[in-house]
Structure 1
Amino acid sequence: MKLQELVNSLSLEVKTPGMDLNREVTGGYASDLLSDVIGNAKEGSVWITLQVHLNIVAVASLKGLAGIILVNNRMPDGDTLKKASEENIPVMTSPLAAFELAGRLYTLGLRCR
């Protein structure tokens, strides 16, 4: 599934304009603990989190994640978005809670690999 399909299907708001949303999403991972994501998220997955600080970009880049979805209408600051743009990491937001968003990703066919 393409990232753009997720954005459309889930009405996500892209906070990093100009990103390539044609990248393939191969799974999903939900966690707010950075070390957990480093240890367990798989390349190509989207990461569901409520964390909004700069370090989320470093983790997503390190793991080769397809993008970051921030839940509960959480908004990152300008420095985080700037770094995400520099690292080519799409950041999206959703009004949904993590549990609800993960369920919808599952319904769309994505799994934690």
Structure 2
Amino acid sequence: MKNDISHNNILNKEIKFYIIGFFISFILTIIPFILVIKKKYFYSKNFLLIVLVLSACLQILVHLKYFLHLNFSKKNYWNLIFLIFSIIVIFIIILGSVWIMWNLHHNLSNY
């Protein structure tokens, strides 16, 4: 009986955690969507770009915390190291590809 109560309590906390993450993600999606729809009425392109990038970065952090349960505890240390390593590899691939394409464009544009 006592285990059932503690299990339900833990389950309720997890559900609340997911619901909070869902609503924050929903808000971080709706705000840029509305701004893009109404951009010709109120906002400059620079402001819109800043809000879009900021919203995307915040949404990545929300997903990492609320849905992937990543934090800086010792329990998640290796998961965090793997995530940082993956981000570094992705940046190397993307920046290397852009660098190669720019060099190809620069070297072949003379012909």
- Which is higher, the Rg of structure 1 or of structure 2? 2
TM-score normalised to the size of structure 1?
0.19
Normalized per residue, the structure richer in strand is 1
TM-score normalised to the size of structure 2?
0.19
* Higher RCO structure, 1 or 2 (CA under 8 Å, sep 6+): 1
Normalized per residue, the structure richer in helix is 2
